Structure 1
Amino acid sequence: MKDFIKYEFIGAKVEVINSKNKHIIGLYGTIIDETKNTFKIETENGIKVVPKRGNTFIFYFKDYWILVDGSIITERPWERIKKKVRKII
């Protein structure tokens, strides 16, 4: 699933499963925007901006899920698609 890093994340369902900030652990929603360092996630309680670095995410898809360390996706979306990835987590 190394190609996952090259996917468009906007529209993906995501959950924060580990974080330095205990208040965002368990945060679940849909990614509505992405910058180099953050995801903007639409949740049931509104829109939250979550840093990539320091967090571990689960991305949910129809038939599978992927566990990702946020530090390996801390790049601009258009730069990330060119990146060679050896390890997802």
Structure 2
Amino acid sequence: MTAAITADNILAHELVGLEATVVESSDPTIKGLKGTVVFETKNTISIRTTKENAAVKTVPKIAAKTIEFHTQTGACFISGATLIARPEDRISRLS
């Protein structure tokens, strides 16, 4: 059984599948972007938008100053710079 994703342990979990919103960004074109995380690399997060066209947008982690993730226990706000690392390295380092 997998532990519930909370604000305390979100960095040690997979982000794919979580609902996310870019709250604050240095790039005005991604500010307010909302959807489901579908892919993550060392420097980017891909989000499938919840708009009618359901496009996948790639968000540079460094440009996303604040990202809101919706977890099973509530919302969690994280700086995109905190997420810069290969997902598998971040997960193994923190778990």
- Under TM normalisation by the shorter chain, which class is it? 0.7 to 0.9
Deviations 1:30-74 (A, max 9, x none): 010000000111012411000111311000123310000010110
Structure 1 stretches of 5 or more lacking a match? 85-89
- 1:69 equivalent to 2:72? Answer no
Q: Which residue of 2 aligns with 1:87?
A: none
Question: What TM-score, normalized by structure 1, do the two folds share?
Answer: 0.86
Question: What TM-score, normalized by structure 2, do the two folds share?
Answer: 0.81
Displacement after TM superposition at 1:75 (Å): 0.4
In structure 2, C-alpha distance between the alignment counterparts of 1:39 and 1:24, rounded to whole Å: 12
In structure 2, C-alpha distance between the alignment counterparts of 1:21 and 1:14, rounded to whole Å: 16
Shift of the 51–81 alpha-carbon distance from structure 1 to 2, 3 Å rule, reads same
Q: Which residue of 2 aligns with 1:27?
A: 33
Equivalent residue letter for 1:65: A
What number of residue pairs does the alignment pair up?
84
Share of identical aligned residues, percent?
33
Displacement after TM superposition at 1:81 (Å): 1.4
Equivalent residue letter for 1:27: L
